[in-house]
């Protein structure tokens, strides 16, 4: 699978760099995996985290790098630890041993060929819980096709409908075009959501949309597109947790989403006919909801002096 890094085209940026020869593209990743944290995460959607937690693995670097990113320390500052494919395999099995309900791969696009190798090894050694692919969706369809038969649950973002916002905030031309094609391939692979007797998802697609302050019309277009395309065959996670962490040049991004904005969007979704949705209640706009990227679960304790 490393051959895909000889001329990297995993995402629409199509950098064509040889990552196996130390060439660096937009995401800044090399041909070595870099991880920031692996632990039981309890703040995903209820059907993913349950009470025990999702076995969440945060990958360093990112091919999107939104200016408001809440995981800025790892997506842009690139903090993390280099690990081998074999170590990623071990981490997956360790999370399963801890009782994880699934393996949740966060920001994995730029490492897909390496992740596929690790997961195949882990499955041979007894990994049998669902694999969740947690992505910005800015990736080429061929990248998603590599995951067919390996990923059980897709958890993609659909961030923007209007390309001007994608360019302004994520420097990503044609974001909606590529993200919508990627999500369509995800749905073709796994179909409608299925759950176990405890309500934990086993297969399917949950599309996340993070509402940005003062951008309700674009959010409505995203929600409307998803409903018109998939009806209630997918779940939509409508999120109000946007948290301004740094002073940005765009005034609206230095604010939080108001209750009025969010409730307006929820009412709009309901009036469209959306019934399979997750909404957020209570105070979610806090830095405490952002993980501490401290390397937990990455390096074997036996290797630490």
Spatial separation of the C-alpha atoms in residues 222 and 229, rounded to whole Å: 11
CA of residue 279 relative to chain centroid, distance: 17
Spatial separation of the C-alpha atoms in residues 97 and 196, rounded to whole Å: 20
What pLDDT is recorded for position 75? 96
Contact between residue 33 and residue 114 where contact means Cβ atoms under 8 Å apart: yes
What pLDDT is recorded for position 305? 38
For the chain, list the domains and their CATH numbers.
35-303 (3.20.20.70)
CB-based contacts of 134, cutoff 8 Å, min separation 6 = 56, 104, 105, 106, 107, 108, 155
CA-based nearest residue to 189, from 236, 146, 232: 146
User: Angle at the Cα of 250 (from 249 to 253), degrees rounded to 5?
Assistant: 115
33's tokens: 């995996």
Contact between residue 171 and residue 161 where contact means Cβ atoms under 8 Å apart: no
- Strands 131-135 and 103-106, sheet pairing: parallel
Spatial separation of the C-alpha atoms in residues 185 and 3, rounded to whole Å: 22
What pLDDT is recorded for position 251? 93
H-type alpha helices, the chain = 46-49, 72-75, 85-97, 112-124, 141-145, 163-170, 175-190, 216-230, 259-272
What pLDDT is recorded for position 300? 80
Which residues of the chain, if any, have pLDDT below 50? 287-288, 303-305
What pLDDT is recorded for position 302? 54
What pLDDT is recorded for position 271? 98
Spatial separation of the C-alpha atoms in residues 70 and 250, rounded to whole Å: 16
Q: Could you tell me the CA-to-CA distances from 241 to 28, 148, 298 in Å, in that order?
A: 27, 31, 27
H-type alpha helices, 26-101 = 46-49, 72-75, 85-97
């Amino acid at each position: 699978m490393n051959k895909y890094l000889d001329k990297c085209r995993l995402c629409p940026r199509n950098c064509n760099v040889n990552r196996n020869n130390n060439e660096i593209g937009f995401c800044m990743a090399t041909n070595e995996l870099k991880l920031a944290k692996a632990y039981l995460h309890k703040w995903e959607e209820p059907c993913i985290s349950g009470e025990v937690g999702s076995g969440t693995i945060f990958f360093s670097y990112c091919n999107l790098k939104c200016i408001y990113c809440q995981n800025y320390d790892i997506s842009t500052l690139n903090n993390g630890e280099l690990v081998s494919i074999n170590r990623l395999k071990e981490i997956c099995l360790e999370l399963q041993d801890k009782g994880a309900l699934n393996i949740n791969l966060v920001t994995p696009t730029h490492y897909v060929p390496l992740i596929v190798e690790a997961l195949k090894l882990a499955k041979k050694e007894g990994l049998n819980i669902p694999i969740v692919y947690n992505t910005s969706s800015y990736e080429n369809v061929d990248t998603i096709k590599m995951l067919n038969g390996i990923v059980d649950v897709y958890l993609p973002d659909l961030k923007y409908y209007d390309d001007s916002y994608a360019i302004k905030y994520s420097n990503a031309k044609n974001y909606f075009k590529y993200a919508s094609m990627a999500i369509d391939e995800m749905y073709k692979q796994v179909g409608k959501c299925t759950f176990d007797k405890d309500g934990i998802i086993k297969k399917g697609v949950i599309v996340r949309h993070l509402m940005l302050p003062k951008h309700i019309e674009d959010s409505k277009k995203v929600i409307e597109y998803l409903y018109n395309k998939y009806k209630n065959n997918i779940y939509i996670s409508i999120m109000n947790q946007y948290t301004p962490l740094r002073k940005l040049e765009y005034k609206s991004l230095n604010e939080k989403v108001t209750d009025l904005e969010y409730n307006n969007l929820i009412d709009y979704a309901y009036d469209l006919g959306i019934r399979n949705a997750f909404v957020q209640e209570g105070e979610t706009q806090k830095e405490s909801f952002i993980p501490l990227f401290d390397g937990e679960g990455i390096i074997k304790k036996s290797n630490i002096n």
